[in-house]
Structure 1
Amino acid sequence: MSDWADEKLKKWGVFSAMKEKGVCGFPAQSPTFRVELSGGSSGTVALVDADVMMIDGIMSRVKAEKPSLFWMGWDWYVKGLPVSSIAFHHRCANKTVYNRMSALKKHVLIGSRDFILKI
């Protein structure tokens, strides 16, 4: 299940990076939309769907409840920093970064389960 959370967090990282750069367009009545990565020759297009929006909501809750965990996840998934840089920035050991990423994935799994049960 941790792989599921990791995949969703990776998609959330791409979405958040695009949102941070201000290149996301939110259409008025569509449950999904496409984010086109401009400036590259690859022409990559990433699909943003309900799962990414659900993860974005979960991460907003994590940010309010455990900001240090959120910012470590931000550095890992959005900025794509290596473990050593994250550990240096947060003044902790590399093993602590891995443990907190595991805790973040657990928060995502629990949050997604709670979200699905509310529906």
Structure 2
Amino acid sequence: MTTAAAVPTHQLALSGPSECLDAPHWPVRGDLAHVRLAGICFVPHYAVPMPHLLSSPADLKVKPQDDADARETLAAGTTFNVLDMAGGWAWGQVGEDGCVGYLPLDVLEARRS
């Protein structure tokens, strides 16, 4: 039988780089993250962003609900990098390093190259 004293403490330690996340600006949630965060954040899935443009002004929401708090109001023509779409909402990030949140799908148009 192995006792706790017999297990080297370095085997139980969590070590390595750890960053304090600025949640409103990091495109990561429990199930999904932006592909650029692979190796930094551990999640089951990583997504390549799909650039879209806002067709009209809209509030970037903290949750996919009409009555959720807004992080900011975005102008028409703003680039929104979509990472997930479900239930009439898109989750993603404003530009490359802006706020992260949810927008209704009906205000987004796929950006043409």
TM range (shorter): under 0.3
Question: TM-score, length-normalised on structure 2?
Answer: 0.25
TM-score (norm 1): 0.24
**In proportion to residue count, which structure has more helix?**
1
More relative contact order, 1 or 2 (CA 8 Å, 6+ apart)? 1
Q: Which has the higher strand share?
A: 2
